[in-house]
Amino acid sequence: MGEEQKKLGRRDVLRFGAGAGIVVAGGAYLAAARAGTGRAVWQIDPNKCIQCGNCKTECVLATSAVKCVHAFAMCGYCELCTGFFEPQPNSLNEGAENQLCPTGAIKRSFVEDPYYEYIIDEDLCDGCAKCVKGCSSFGNGSLFLQVRHNLCLNCNQCSIAAACPSRAFRRVPADHPYLLKRREPEG
Amino acid sequence: MARILLAILVLIPLWTANGAERFPPPEFKEGHQLPTTTTPPARDAVLAYADVAVLAAALGLAAWLVLRRRSRRAVFVLMVFSLLYFGFYRRGCICPIGAIQNVALAVFDSSYAIPITVLAFFLLPLVFALLFGRVFCSSVCPLGAAQDLVLFRPLKVPAWLAQALGLLPYVYLGLAVLLAAGGSSFIICQYDPFVPFFRMSGSIHMLILGAAFLVLGMFVGRAYCRFLCPYGALLNLASRLSRWRVTITPDECIKCRLCEEACPFDAIRKPTPAGVFGRAEGKALLAGLILLLPVLIAAAGWLGNMSGTAFARSNNTIRIAELVRQDAQRTHGDPVNEVVAFRKTGRPDAELFQEADSIRRSYMRGGWLFGGWVGLVIGLKLIGLSIRRTRTDYEAERGSCMACARCYAWCPQEHQRPKPAVEKQ
């Protein structure tokens, strides 16, 4: 110990002081000028999304944290829903051969003539966006993709965001973590 | 007032007509209730602060265990806890290593505000390294813990190879900062070899890479930490200045040589034999190297500048601009997704090209800095190698010692003490 004590001279104190100075100054600058108290999470801007299908394949989770969600107020409750049915379906019923959804995650139920309601079963949905494409190409666009934050790991670098061709992913404040479609066109 | 109301009444139907509603939403006769769109909330903000508290507590405990308790077993237990908490429970995100990129992005992109918890994750281990050495590496980092646990038969890496590979973390750090600051990607997170294990899922090539690092880690102690980890590079620098640090012996070194083989990370330096090196020769070499330093920096900076365009290709805006440019020559088939998405925004091509050009220019400038940094690192390494220090005792090298506490048990002086020694300098 005597050896070590001898070594802690003015030079060591200066070196430590210089290091501490840099870290404290840098930290204070970052905290004051560049930091925000709010946390951020990843979300999809549904108005930028082009339904390319990357959300299903690029997520680090085995089943993507991106799911299709439904803005019911925008839905036309169509009998022939282009988000639910294959193009030119054999008949307008829930037969698997008529459905667009590969996992059968959309439940179709009769409300009143001629309206049908479509509800997503998120446990089955894998975020492939086939229904979203169908709905926004020929329908009201009430089906859209969102990152579900009960599933999302909130990776520092979202790997879907890195692969998104339309740059629809962005960081949003964690207390407003959804970019939902609304009835008004401002969305 | 009435006029405004009238204007609003006239405008409301216009708004709805502007929307994508091809089929007007129905008015239900039987009063059907619309289901609500659920919005499950994100992880509670309080938990993020709890993570910071756990990090601070773990760092404090690690410093105490390494420097005061001097107990490898206790360090091991803390290491397992960190692997479980920061690794498997928090799934490796956010970690100080990845936070480098958030800091870089926050410094260069004013539209990005770094969350205060992420900043704390970046700064806390650095502050602890300044005070106590690399206690973060020792038992708080889940990546280090994963490798430390599989270390089964450590082999000595030849000194020349270890010194050369030791430059990689600094290069990786520079590259990660360049790409994060340029808004391209967070490569440290993308190519983190262990995080797929923490998440128990990931792409096949990342799982293979992770498995390769674990197999390598059985024979080469903490290969990722020593030869790649960019945060390790920062901690290495900080711990060279540290106030307190690991000393192999609690008392006086009796030069028994028993600890020579103790360190699996080759961080123990032997005492130098007295009076063997020629001073004049050494001085000439050192002077030459110091003169060479600016040349190295300039040359590497120029090379970095030349490769600026190559780095820029990793930026999404530049990639999209390139695809849009190529799309002009397309004679058949459909446009690629990126072009479809860009056309949907309705922005003019020229604007995109202009933006891409400005990003490319900043990458050229960044290339200078990155190249200069690499030149500086190589130059300082050469200078460091040519400076010979005299050592009278066996010492743990300040920068590369990861405070794993393995060497303590090898020192006979340690066993003479009835109680754990208090190490103060």
Question: Given this model, what pLDDT does residue B27 score?
Answer: 87
Mean pLDDT of B25-32: 86
Q: What is the pLDDT of residue A8?
A: 60
Per-10-residue mean pLDDT for chain A, 187 residues long? 54 87 91 84 94 93 94 92 92 90 94 92 95 93 95 91 92 92 64
Which ranges constitute the DSSP H helices of chain A?
Answer: 2-7, 10-29, 54-58, 130-138, 159-163
* Residue B161 reports pLDDT greater than 90: yes
Nearest to B29 among A112, A153, A168 (CB): A112
Q: What is the pLDDT at residue B305?
A: 93
The reply to whether residue B190 touches residue A157, judged by beta carbons under 8 angstroms, is yes
Find chain A residues with C-beta within 8 A of B103's C-beta.
30
Task: Please report the residues numbered 181 through 220 in chain B whose beta carbons come closer than 8 angstroms to any beta carbon of chain A.
Answer: 185-186, 189-190, 196, 199, 201-203
B236 & B314 share domain: no
Q: Which residue of B has its CA nearest to A74?
A: B25
Using the beta-carbon criterion (under 8 Å), do B337 and A39 form an inter-chain contact?
Answer: no
Q: What is the DSSP letter of B41?
A: P
Is A25 in CB contact (< 8 Å) with chain B? no
pLDDT, one tens digit per residue, over B317-337 is 999 999 999 998 988 889 999
Q: Which residue of A has its CA nearest to B110?
A: A34
pLDDT grade for B418, boundaries at 50, 70 and 90: low
pLDDT tens string A109-137: 999 888 999 999 999 999 999 999 999 99
CB contact under 8 A, A30 and B240: no
Q: Which residue of A lies nearest to B125 if distances are taken between CA atoms? A: A23
pLDDT digits (tens, 9 = 90+) for B219-271: 999 999 999 999 999 999 999 999 998 989 888 888 888 888 889 999 999 88
Please report the residues numbered 143 through 182 in chain B whose beta carbons come closer than 8 angstroms to any beta carbon of chain A: none
Q: Which range has the worst mean pLDDT, A46-60, B58-72, B388-402? A: B388-402
Residue B85 Cα to chain centre, angstroms: 19
The reported pLDDT for the residue numbered B422 is 53
CA proximity to B405, closest of B290, B193, B258, B259 = B259
Instruction: Say whether pLDDT at B15 is over 70.
Output: no
Look at residue B83 and tell me if it is in a domain. yes
B127 lies within 8 A of chain A by CB: yes
Contact B48 A141 (CB under 8 A): no
pLDDT of amino acid A7: 54
From chain A, the residues in CB contact with B16 under 8 A are 183-185
Residue found under tokens 């209730």: B33
Q: Strand, helix or coil at B274?
A: coil
Among B28, B36, B423, whose Cβ lies nearest the Cβ of A112? B28
Nearest-CA distance A162 → chain B (Å):
7
What letter represents residue A86's amino acid? E
Asked whether residue B210 falls in the same domain as residue B65, the answer is: yes
> What count of CB pairs under 8 Å joins A to B?
205
CA B364 to each of CA A116, B174, B369, B371: distance values in angstroms, whole numbers, following the listed order: 57, 14, 9, 10
Query: Is B403 found in the same domain as B330?
Result: no
Nearest-by-Cβ selection for B252 from A2, A73, A139? A2
Per the CB < 8 A criterion, the answer to whether B252 and B423 are in contact is no
Claim to verify: residue B214 and residue B179 sit in the same structural domain:
yes
In the predicted model, is pLDDT for residue B316 greater than 50?
yes
Residues B133 and B238 in one domain: yes
Is it the case that residue B10 has pLDDT exceeding 90?
no
β-bridge mates for residue B100, sequence order: none
Residue of chain A with shortest Cα separation from B422: A1
Contact yes or no for A152 and B42 at CB 8 A: yes
B24 Cα to chain A: minimum distance (Å): 6
Q: Are residues B196 and B329 in the same domain?
A: no
* pLDDT at res. A4: 47
**What's the pLDDT band for B13 if we cut at 50, 70, 90?**
very low
More confident residue, B400 or A36: B400
Residues B78 and B219 in one domain: yes
Nearest-CA distance from A38 to chain B in Å?
6
Structure confidence by residue, pLDDT tens digits, B125-141: 999 999 999 999 999 99
Q: Are residues B239 and B300 in the same domain?
A: no
Q: Which residue of B has its CA nearest to A152?
A: B42
A36 touches chain B (CB under 8 A): yes
In the 8-state DSSP scheme, what is residue B66? I
Task: For residue B39, tell me if it sits in a domain.
Answer: no
Asked if A8 contacts B87 with a C-beta cutoff of 8 angstroms, the reply is: no
Q: Let me know if residue B21 belongs to a domain.
A: no
Cα torsion at B362, B363, B365, B367 (round to 10°)? 170
CA distance A182 to A47: 11
In a domain, B378, yes or no: yes
Residue given tokens 């308790």 in the structure block: B69
Q: Does B236 touch chain A (CB under 8 A)?
A: no
Q: In this complex, is the C-beta atom of A145 within 8 Å of any C-beta atom belonging to chain B? A: no
Position B26 in a domain: no
Shared domain for B127 and B164, answered yes or no, is yes
Residues of A with CB below 8 A from B345's CB?
48
Binary contact (A31, B119; C-beta < 8 A) = yes
Evaluate whether B110 touches B136 at the Cβ level (below 8 Å). Answer: no
Q: Same structural domain for residues B169 and B300?
A: no
Residue B25 inside a domain? The answer is: no
Which of B29, B101, B117, B243 to mutate to test binding with chain A, by most A CBs within 10 Å of its CB? Answer: B243
Picking from B201, B243, B342, the nearest residue to A62 by CB comes out as B201
Which residues of chain B from 34 to 53 reach within 8 Å of chain A, CB to CB? 34-43, 45, 48
In this complex, is the C-beta atom of A104 within 8 Å of any C-beta atom belonging to chain B?
A: no
B240 at interface of A, judged by CB pairs closer than 8 A: yes
CB contact under 8 A, A35 and B119: yes
Question: Chain B residues with CB inside 8 Å of A185's CB?
Answer: 15-16, 18-20
Chain A hits for B39, Cβ within 8 Å: 177-178, 180
Q: Does A163 touch chain B (CB under 8 A)?
A: no
Instruction: Residue B317: give the domain boundaries.
Output: 281-386
Structurally, chain B folds into a number of domains equal to 2
Structural element, H or E, at residue B124: helix B116-132
Q: Are residues B142 and B187 in the same domain?
A: yes
Q: End-to-end alpha-carbon separation of chain B, Å?
A: 79
Pairing label, strands A106-112, A40-44: unpaired
State the average pLDDT over residues B146-152. 94
Beta-carbon separation of A185 and B19 below 8 A: yes
- The verdict on B327 and B214 lying in the same domain is no
pLDDT value at position B3?
Answer: 53
Residue B64 maps to a domain: yes
Domain assignment of residue B76, yes or no: yes
Distance of CA A42 to CAs A68, A131, A154, B285, Å?
A: 15, 22, 7, 54
